[in-house]
Chains A and B, each alone.
Chain A
Amino acid sequence: MLELLGLTRRFRDIVALDDVSFSVAPGEMVGFVGPNGAGKTTAMRIALGVLQADAGEVRWRGRPVDAETRRRFGYMPEERGLYPKMRVLDHLVYLARLHGLDREDARAQAVRGTEILGVADRSSARIETLSLGNQQRVQLAAALVHRPEVLVLDEPFSGLDPVGVDVLSGVLREQASAGVPVVFSSHQLDLVERLCESVVLIHRGRIVASGRVADLREADPRRLVRVEVAGAASAWYERLPGVRVVDPLPEGAVLELDGAQPADVLDAARAAGEVRSFNVVRPSLTEIFRRAVGA
């Protein structure tokens, strides 16, 4: 179990983290979400020992994390960084060696990493000659090259094309199912919802919600309907009494029922045009997020 306990960190007058605690169990994949500047990166940097906390501690398997333990962690910082002039394979070998692998093992792991992430054909290319997407893949390979016991990834999906997203999702799932606790931050909430069983929601340095996604959705008291209507006049739903628009869609909307019944909405939809779909739904992670941060 990876535990962040009561982490607090100030940067001069700004409180970046205020008593932040959460944990990630082995084999669990946790999404760490929050608006820009909420404190995600600071928390992850502290977990990796790149920054120090003013208060609180990080524990792994019940013990405070020290430098030697951290060498077995895998980390992908938000600010991607590799030596631009180094060759892909050399770079991965170098990082594996820094993490304590012997020469042979480092080499084997580096080769494996390039194969898994689909950059094996660029092994002898300099990092700076790679496309951004490929650099990102190498960065992930770098985080995985030493068979980490824990994975902490800051915005690993940003900048990836859909194929890259699939590759990365697959790799993370694999790691989690091998028993590695995985925590990653992301602004792509649909992706988080698809990949993670649990999420931690941080806002202005404080945890505002955390737990299983299903439980959070269950706990949300709002009742929503998702309705799509073909051939309707635009914004037919805006005049409906007892209804608030949560999310407009190309041919419809997600509506929050505030006094109205689902049947009222359905009647209005029928009157407006040909109903393509109509669902009573639980709030999605995006809606939970919006509510939590007061947007």
Chain B
Amino acid sequence: MSGGVVRIVARREFVERIRDKGFLISTGITLLILVVFVGAGALLAGGTSFDLGLVGPGSEPIGERIASRAGDLDIEVTLRPFDSIADAERAVREGDVDAALVDGETIVVRADPPADLVGVIQAVSARERSEGALVSAGLTPEEIEAALEQPVLPVTALEPLDRRRREYAAVGFVGVLALYGQLFAYGYWVASGVVEEKSSRVVEVLLATVRPSQLLRGKILGIGVLGLCQLALIGVVGFTATQVLGALRFPGGALGVIGIVLLWFVLGYFFYAGLFAVAGAIVPRQEDLQSTMTPLSIVIIVSLFLGIEGNRNPDSTLAIVTSLLPPSAPLVMPSRLVLGEASVLEGLLSALISVGATLALVPVATRIYSRAVLQPGKIRIRQVLRSPRGD
């Protein structure tokens, strides 16, 4: 029968909140921000394409070569012929083209030369002129070819640029932010839900029917399931947006992050929920909640910074340690896992430690909650633990 009661309590928590207009609106805003964010990311990522204006007879053939050379470098150049210098300059001024090449001799830009484009133009033009000079010097085309066709210098990057890794880190970062927001918001809901029952006195009506532990479990469960559903929705909408807007080259990473984030939300939420419930149970009114929640807030904010640091340096000792500690693990471990810095075994270990810590905390939190929830005024935890009321 006890399971039934917990389910009924959980169901109320879920249904009453999901029907709340404020909740629906804030969820909508979150999704909107996410889509805008993804769209902006897609625009910024697509920055390596240029429009080049061409004026004068000498510009057409060199333009072709610039476009093809740029193509080799993964830069897209669209050629736009103009009839007069004035037209070309106007187009540059108005931003219709990024630069204009006049008679194959002058590059016109508005103010700040686009480095990638100008670099390609300079290289192609220099080669063109060298070729002309060599022809004048009487070299055969074969000799010219041999002189000019030098292989590009090999680049040895000490820290190789790994686009995949960079993108995984970015997606992981978004995951960390989402988890932080979600843990904070839903933890706060547990605390304020407890205070609501206390300050509205409905808790006395409830406790005449259900045990405090059942009430607490139902509340945590209902709010947690809602948090998980909302997070999953954010994940699905966010992922769909990246696909539609073409913001990601490696969508597999995003899918991995979503899965890992959902799992660590569950671990982190249950770890923190009992503590938030205690923070709520020991104060009489919502206004007093801020003070008892402060220690928890600090822990979560510090964990966020650890998570950001772990996202940047996932193989550091700090990241390894904090990805195993229950308070910070939800914000550190997902990045390490998605970047391949933590093995599945490590992830499993971290999860086990989290579950173990949660199981150890639940009875203590339930004990404090049970004794504090009917007492008026602000309550000291130590005093509550000593008082005789048991569950």
Count chain B residues whose beta carbon lies closer than 8 angstroms to a beta carbon of A.
25
Q: Which of A51, A52, A73, A82 contacts B200 (CB 8 A)?
A: A82
A84 to B198, CA, bound (A): 12
Establish whether residues A97 and B8, one from each chain, have CB atoms under 8 Å apart when the complex forms. Answer: yes
Q: If the complex has contacts A50-B208, A83-B196, are A98 and B9 also in contact, measured as CB distance less than 8 A?
A: yes
* Chain B positions 360 through 391: 1 when the CB is less than 8 Å from some CB of chain A, otherwise 0: 00000000000000100000000000001110
Q: Which residue of A lies closest to B7 (CB)?
A: A97
Q: Which of A48, A52, A82 contacts B388 (CB 8 A)?
A: A52
Does B12 count as interface, using CB distance less than 8 angstroms? yes
A176 to chain B, nearest CB (A): 20
Most chain B CB within a 10 A radius of its CB, from A45, A49, A84, A98: A98
Establish whether residues B209 and A82, one from each chain, have CB atoms under 8 Å apart when the complex forms. Answer: no
Does A270 count as interface, using CB distance less than 8 angstroms? no
Does B16 count as interface, using CB distance less than 8 angstroms? yes
A98 to B1, CA, bound (A): 10
A73 to B205, CA, bound (A): 11
Q: Chain B contacts of A98 at CB under 8 A?
A: 5, 8-9, 206, 209-210
B33 to chain A, nearest CB (A): 26
Does A99 count as interface, using CB distance less than 8 angstroms? yes
Does A223 count as interface, using CB distance less than 8 angstroms? no
Q: Chain B contacts of A84 at CB under 8 A?
A: 196, 200
A85 to B286, CA, bound (A): 15
Does B202 count as interface, using CB distance less than 8 angstroms? yes
A286 to B203, CA, bound (A): 34
A52 to chain B, nearest CB (A): 6
Establish whether residues A94 and B201, one from each chain, have CB atoms under 8 Å apart when the complex forms. Answer: no
List residues of B (1-54) whose CB comes within 8 Å of A's CBs.
Answer: 1, 5, 8-9, 12, 16, 20
Does A192 count as interface, using CB distance less than 8 angstroms? no
Establish whether residues B205 and A142, one from each chain, have CB atoms under 8 Å apart when the complex forms. Answer: yes
A77 to chain B, nearest CB (A): 4
Establish whether residues B200 and A77, one from each chain, have CB atoms under 8 Å apart when the complex forms. Answer: no
A164 to chain B, nearest CB (A): 19
Q: Chain A contacts of B202 at CB under 8 A?
A: 81-83
A9 to B201, CA, bound (A): 22
Establish whether residues B201 and A77, one from each chain, have CB atoms under 8 Å apart when the complex forms. Answer: yes
Does B249 count as interface, using CB distance less than 8 angstroms? no
A167 to B388, CA, bound (A): 40
Most chain A CB within a 10 A radius of its CB, from B200, B202, B206: B202
Establish whether residues A86 and B9, one from each chain, have CB atoms under 8 Å apart when the complex forms. Answer: no
A45 to B8, CA, bound (A): 24
A62 to chain B, nearest CB (A): 21
Establish whether residues A81 and B209, one from each chain, have CB atoms under 8 Å apart when the complex forms. Answer: no
Q: Which residue of B lies closest to A68 (CB)?
A: B1
Establish whether residues A52 and B201, one from each chain, have CB atoms under 8 Å apart when the complex forms. Answer: no
Q: Chain B contacts of A139 at CB under 8 A?
A: 205
Establish whether residues B204 and A81, one from each chain, have CB atoms under 8 Å apart when the complex forms. Answer: yes
B121 to chain A, nearest CB (A): 66
Q: Which residue of B lies closest to A128 (CB)?
A: B200
* Chain A positions 50 through 61: 1 when the CB is less than 8 Å from some CB of chain B, otherwise 0: 111010000000
Most chain B CB within a 10 A radius of its CB, from A50, A75, A84, A139: A50
A55 to B210, CA, bound (A): 22
A149 to B200, CA, bound (A): 26
Measuring CB to CB, which residues of chain B are less than 8 angstroms from any residue of chain A?
1, 5, 8-9, 12, 16, 20, 196-197, 200-211, 374, 388-390
Query: 4 tightest CB-CB pairs across the interface, nearest first?
Result: A81-B201, A81-B202, A79-B201, A48-B208
